[in-house]
Amino acid sequence: MLDSRAERDGLPTFIVDAGDLFWKASSLPSQDLPQRELKAELIVDAFAVHGVDAMTPGDGDLALGVETYRELTGGLPVLAGNLTCGEATWPLTRSVEKGGRTVGFIGVVSEKPKGCEVSAPADAVAAGVAELGEVDVVVLLSHGTASKDAEILHPDVDFVVNGHSRQSYNSPRDLGSAWHLGAGSRGKKLGIVELVFTEGATGWADDQRTVALQEDREKLVERLEVAVGQVADATTDIDKERFGTRVAYYEGEIGRVDEQLAEARSAGDSKLNSFQNQLVDLDAKHDGHAATDALVEATLTAISGLEAPDVASSPPEGPFLGSETCRSCHTAQYDQWKSTRHASAYDTLAKDKRHLDADCVSCHTTGYGMGGPSHPSQVGQFKNVGCESCHGPGEEHLGDAEHKKIMNPPAKAVCTGCHDGDRDGGRFVYEDYVLKVQHTAPE
């Protein structure tokens, strides 16, 4: 998938996943299951191409059903020593040797999947360390709330990869005896950690830590200066106190970072192994990988061939009406809307064969999952980001003698429901964007 530096240099590469790989939440609408299974098969096939060394199931993965999960991952190194789902259990650890170094993996689940039992994760981690014995690096794959990972640690664990919380850490968190890694959600980023061994060393130092901490410090100093200014400008006692609390907070944070900087600098002298972490955006910047692209193509074709599930083929009646209904009375607004990208948002998906993809339709159609369509096969007149995406459903407006009862102007929060800072490429700036959708040019 990715031409990482490690691969380029021919260094041994270990690939892991810490769960919620196939689906993100512990429940899954049944009409989405067939599509979700096809995507899970795609991921499994891609792992067969690229290899995977250890993985842990998430509550989201098991939302596909325990049997389905087991069938999908039959040939894969799933670890989950403290998880029991009916008859199903999984190993706790696995050691993998490549290029003369042995990495020991432990898989532990703290977030309880539906219909499964989870036993004390901290005990499982300790048992895992004992089971692994002598290895060069111990990596814990943890599927649970990231903020609780520190509580389940054992001193011999070197790295913790969290798969449940959706945080992405550019600079890994210091958990005391281990480093915390997270690469965010929706497969948007790949976390790559390069390990450099020092003979005779134990423990790990983050090569970029000093730089990262200095960046943190600069940001804090900027915010402190703003807060100091706010105290100076404050006209009421309440404001003085409020901004004063901010000043104290930033001073405290700067002190904390200074301590960590001093620690990081002195650690530079002692004998530690070192690592560098990077998060790589898995976006269109990367050249395709022919074998993976072929798998994706085949999956999209399979999705278009899926039989429509047991939902009505036309969307439910009301409260959404569709943009054509508004056109008769609001021709000017309609014509202006037609000239915006909203009016072709569905075609954008269709061009790439993504219009039947349940992960895409909601923001490229109108009223999806909010009383309008609830499956890609029933979007009907709700293709594209129509009038009611911004103004809300029109049923009451039409029934209202005074033609009120409709949102005007739409709240900013309506926009950010779709322009969410993530799937929109992070380009949204309300003040600029709203100028392009207003129906009359500002005077």
- Which stretches of the chain bind ligand HEC, using CB under 6 A? 321, 323, 325-326, 328-330, 333-334, 337, 341-342, 344-345, 348-349, 352, 354, 357, 359-360, 362-364, 385-391, 394, 397-398, 403-404, 406, 408-410, 414-415, 417-420, 423-425, 427-428, 433-434, 436-440
CB 210 within 8 A of CB 264: yes
Q: Which amino acid is at 291?
A: A
What's the CA gap between 80 and 82, in Å, rounded?
6
Residue whose entry in the numeric block shows the structure tokens 């991952």: 73
Report the candidate in 351, 350, 375 with the shortest Cα–Cα distance to residue 362.
375
> Residue 120 or residue 407: which is nearer to ligand HEC going by CB?
407
> Residue 31 or residue 344: which is nearer to ligand HEC going by CB?
344
CB of 277 to ligand HEC, least distance (A): 27
CB of 431 to ligand HEC, least distance (A): 9
> Residue 232 or residue 332: which is nearer to ligand HEC going by CB?
332
CB of 442 to ligand HEC, least distance (A): 9
> Residue 232 or residue 429: which is nearer to ligand HEC going by CB?
429
Length of the chain in residues, anyone? 443
CB of 390 to ligand HEC, least distance (A): 3
CB 109 within 8 A of CB 19: yes
Neighbours of 443 (CB within 10 A): 3
CB 62 within 8 A of CB 100: no
> Residue 84 or residue 438: which is nearer to ligand HEC going by CB?
438
- Burial profile 397-411: b = 16 or more Cβ within 10 angstroms, e = fewer: beeeeeeeebeeeee
CB of 380 to ligand HEC, least distance (A): 15
Q: How far apart are the first and last CA of the chain?
A: 51
> Residue 267 or residue 363: which is nearer to ligand HEC going by CB?
363
What's the CA gap between 116 and 138, in Å, rounded?
26
> Residue 221 or residue 418: which is nearer to ligand HEC going by CB?
418
Give the residue nearest to ligand HEC (CB). Answer: 394
CB of 400 to ligand HEC, least distance (A): 9
CB of 319 to ligand HEC, least distance (A): 10
What's the CA gap between 140 and 109, in Å, rounded?
10
What's the CA gap between 19 and 58, in Å, rounded?
4
CB 139 within 8 A of CB 103: yes
